[in-house]
Amino acid sequence: MSVVLDSSVLIAALDPGDADFPSCSALLRTPGCAVHLHALNETFSTLTGGSLKTRVRPDLAAELIRERIVGCARVIVLEVPEIVAAQGEARSRGVRGGAIYDYLHLVAARKGGAKILFTLNVPDFVAFPREGDPEIRRP
């Protein structure tokens, strides 16, 4: 089964002290696992920006992303026309402001043929999906 993980799942998968570490790290090892390219930047930002209990050095964050995410998951890249099309759908999908970043994870999951988009922030995605979109699920 093809699954896409958003950055909330990736961050938990990298932190053994996180309560969701077991389920998230298992998902990261799932065959067919993928991530949207932007999730790599969101993960780096969170790891190095101090919104966690501990701030990670940028070089260590880059190493974790390279070895534990990119080394395990397929990366889905949205092209400019796909991003612009998603922005054009924003109003009909209830997307405003920073929610575009979450919505683009769903667009990437759709592009990648995923059956499920895993996130720790399910409420952030409630308004987005339409028939045929991947299921939004918590690990």
Res 88: pLDDT: 94
State the residue range of the domain holding 82. 3-137
Predicted confidence at residue 26, as pLDDT, reads 95
Looking at residue 127, what is its pLDDT? 83
Q: Give me the pLDDT at residue 75, please.
A: 96
In CATH, what number is assigned to the domain containing residue 84? 3.40.50.1010
The token duo for 4 is 């896409």
Provide the whole-model pTM: 0.92
Q: What is the 3-state secondary structure (H, E, C) of the chain?
A: CCEEECHHHHHHHCCCCCCCHHHHHHHHCCCCEEEEHHHHHHHHHHHHHCCCCCCCCHHHHHHHHHHHHHCCCEEECCCHHHHHHHHHHHHHHCCCCCHHHHHHHHHHHHHCCCCEEECCCHHHHCCCCCCCCCEEECC
Burial label for 99, CB within 10 Å (0-12, 13-18, 19+), is: middle
Contacts of 78 (CB under 8 A, 6+ apart): 36, 37, 38, 86, 104, 107, 108, 111
pLDDT for the residue numbered 51: 65
Tens of pLDDT along the chain (139 residues) come to 599 999 999 999 999 989 999 999 999 999 989 999 999 999 999 999 866 667 889 999 999 999 999 988 999 999 999 999 999 988 888 888 989 999 999 999 999 999 999 999 999 988 887 888 999 999 9
Give the chain's domain count: 1
